[in-house]
Amino acid sequence: MITTVVVGLREEQDEEETNATHSYAELEYSLHLCPKKHKSEAQAMFNFTEDDDEKVAKLIVVPTCQKTAVDIIKTGERVDEEKDLCLERFLKFAEIATNVLREKNFWCDYIDPCSGLSMIHRDSQRVYGEVDALVTLLNYECTNVGCCKIVMHPKWGSSVYPASLFAIAPEDEVRDALRIAAEKMGKKRS
């Protein structure tokens, strides 16, 4: 099941300004147990050993997709600004959600969409393939643009910004952490 929330960031404002402006975007997420196809990638990504098979079997993958205001296949200043805003929104969302889980002593991490590297457990230089994960987990299509793979969202086409979180925790705890993150950043839920 895909959950859609609307999340935003308070933009920079002058101290004299009384009305804060927000930039909001739809963010979809879903929860999946790590498929066998990605087991070895997860082990390498997070430095799990062969003895950690039980951990990997419980690993929940949370792919997210933000609807972008522009088609990210294009290039230019507006596209770069949109990607930066999406990155900032995701990093804040992921930080809130993982902090909730970490406070309860659950293992969790999230991926820096720019580098593909994990943000909490940084002992690996393994790059996570966001597009490949969406193809595997949600059966999304992808296309090649030059040397880059671009995910094709079923509703938004290439106007999408993918990024992922991971957790080893009960599903209801992960859902609760994501709900809290959405509530702290959003104004409505659909």
What's the pLDDT at 188?
Answer: 46
Q: Which helix (H) or strand (E) holds 112?
A: none
CB 109 within 8 A of CB 121: yes
DSSP secondary structure string for all residues of 133-160: HHHHHH--EEEEETTEEEEEBTTTBT-E
**What are the residue ranges in the chain where pLDDT is below 50?**
10-22, 188-190
What's the pLDDT at 63?
Answer: 95
How far apart, in whole angstroms, are the C-alpha atoms of residue 12 and residue 99? 24
> Which tens digits make up the pLDDT trace of 56-69?
889 999 999 999 99
Tell me the domain boundaries of the chain.
3-189
What's the pLDDT at 41?
Answer: 86
What's the pLDDT at 47?
Answer: 86
- CA nearest 190: which of 68, 53, 27? 27
What's the pLDDT at 61?
Answer: 95
